């Protein structure tokens, strides 16, 4: 079965948004932006409700093999398994904004976590040392 493009599903006049009335004076875009940033012609975007857009892309995503279907070993030299919980953990405030060049004094929580993880992995694996490098 060939999947239709979202442009093929579009029908003129179907909108997925509703903008509130302006509470400020309207001004033409060419008064606000340099002409090099303005389109010469309006963008031909698909017209369809947001719910149909979401369904379309979910349907497309299910045509692919992905972590929600089964284990998906991401390619690296170790072909390690990366569960989705890792994405959640990396987005936690204490980790999300870390930078390799930030002062060690501001990264003590993360360094402690990595140290304790390495100690647990050494014990589980019965090894003298482990690395957390990919």
Q: What residues make up the domain containing 17? A: 6-61
Q: What is the pLDDT of residue 32?
A: 95
Summarize the chain as % helix, strand, coil (round to 5). 40, 0, 55
Assigned token pair, 37: 């940033």
Q: What is the pLDDT of residue 3?
A: 87
Is the residue at 129 inside a domain?
no
Q: Measure Cα distances from 38 to 32, 33, 34, 42 in Å.
A: 10, 7, 7, 10
Q: What is the pLDDT of residue 94?
A: 80
Domain count, the chain: 1
Q: What is the pLDDT of residue 88?
A: 86
Is the residue at 30 inside a domain?
yes
Is the residue at 52 inside a domain?
yes
Phi and psi at 114, nearest 5°, equal -65, -40
Q: What is the pLDDT of residue 63?
A: 87
Is the residue at 130 inside a domain?
no
Is the residue at 34 inside a domain?
yes
Tokens 């932006």 correspond to what residue?
A: 33
Is the residue at 27 inside a domain?
yes
Is the residue at 44 inside a domain?
yes
pLDDT one digit per residue (tens) for the chain, 134 residues = 688 999 999 999 888 888 889 899 999 999 999 999 999 998 989 999 999 999 999 999 888 877 677 776 666 555 566 677 888 888 888 888 889 899 999 999 889 999 999 999 999 999 999 999 86
């Amino acid at each position: 079965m060939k999947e239709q493009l979202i442009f093929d599903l579009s029908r003129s006049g179907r909108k997925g948004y509703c903008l509130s009335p302006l509470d400020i004076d309207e001004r033409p875009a060419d008064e606000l932006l340099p002409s090099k940033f303005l389109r010469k012609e309006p963008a031909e975007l698909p017209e369809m409700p947001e719910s149909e857009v979401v369904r379309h892309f979910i349907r497309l995503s299910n045509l692919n093999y992905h972590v929600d279907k089964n284990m998906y070993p991401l390619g690296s030299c170790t072909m390690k398994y990366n569960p989705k919980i890792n994405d959640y953990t990396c987005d936690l405030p204490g980790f999300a904004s870390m930078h390799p060049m930030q002062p060690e004094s501001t990264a003590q929580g993360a360094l402690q976590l990595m140290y304790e993880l390495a100690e647990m992995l050494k014990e589980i694996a019965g090894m003298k040392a482990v690395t957390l490098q990919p």
